[in-house]
Amino acid sequence: MLALGKLLELTLAGHEPAAKIQLTHEGARLRWLAEGALEITPPAASDNGLDLLLSAGIHGNETAPIELLDRLLRGIARGELKPRARILFLFGNPAAIRRGERFIEQDINRLFNGRHEQHTGVEAMRACDLEHLAATFFNNPERTRLHYDLHTAIRGSKIEQFALYPWQEGRPRSKRELARLEAAGIEAVLLHNKSSITFSAYTYSQLGAEAFTLELGKARAFGQNQEVNLQRLELRLQQIVEGCEPEQESGDLQELKLFAVAREVIKHSDAFQMHLPDGVENFSELPVGYLLAEDLAGMRWVVEEQGARIIFPNPKVKNGLRAGILIVPAEDAALV
């Protein structure tokens, strides 16, 4: 196997490879760009025009997606997967991955779309680097652009594998991309309704990619992801890499649940209280009238929406950040 196929090993060890470029037997080029960043270029005769960005480890303790990307890259380096797409593999936060922690100083997935310019530290610098790597990779306007940012969640979820679809004013969502996610085992998609500061929101709104944050189960340590079943996603990614996806219908999306953001719960002060059990799962339903959270100056979040559910509840975030999202079934998804 080509040494650059061991990108995860290099990243965990903090090593820079001696050889920055290697070729597979079939002529695919592997090029090391920076720590945790490797570009794959297929032979010109095989290139199908897709630029595919696969990122994981934006949070360092989300190991199942990291292991998935490692398997894909090793398959390419061994010649078992023969890429027809250009691919950029990114391990997002190497310092946190090495520590097995979510982050070192601050959540890197709240530092994109220019937010890193307002901060200092290792995560702010890495967010800037990731934006630059993505923008350089997606530099040809004539090619198709697709980005999957792979995560696992802090807590359990009643819907284990789901996606977050960013928002851009005047831009409709793609039914074809939703059908592709459904085929990959994604059970639900949350349709955002305003701009965000996550990595996928950056590549979607600033670089024109079809981009998704994929939540794939609960975060566990390396080697302990046997309960995280990513077989359908891994198969679909292999097919995308090799340009051999089966024909798919993008009709009714009957098995895919679509949700819309009703409200975000923002923590404004240290007095913030969230009235949920510690072990509450993502997508837990909340009854109308439920007092969800309180903050200073009599600020209260009371559930008013029928069919409301909570995702990403986290009262420990820093002041000014989102402590949870209230979602409801999507009525008008505006798909094309």
Kindly state the helix (H) or strand (E) to which residue 132 belongs, with its residue range.
helix 122-137
Coil/strand/helix, residue 106: coil
Coil/strand/helix, residue 294: strand
| Residue 9 is labelled as binding a ligand | no
Phi, psi of 198 (to 5 degrees): -90, 170
Q: Which of 131, 99, 302, 305 is nearest to 211 (CA)?
A: 131
Q: Which residues on neighbouring strands pair with residue 328, listed in sequence order? A: 260
Identify the active-site residue in 39, 160, 182, 215: 215
Neighbours of 243 (CB within 10 A): 16
| Residue 116 is labelled as binding a ligand | no
CA distance 240 to 199: 21
Phi, psi of 132 (to 5 degrees): -65, -45
- Residue 179 in tokens: 């059908």
| Residue 132 is labelled as binding a ligand | no
255 is catalytic: no
Residues tagged active-site: 215
Query: Binding site for Zn(2+), residues?
Result: 59, 62, 151
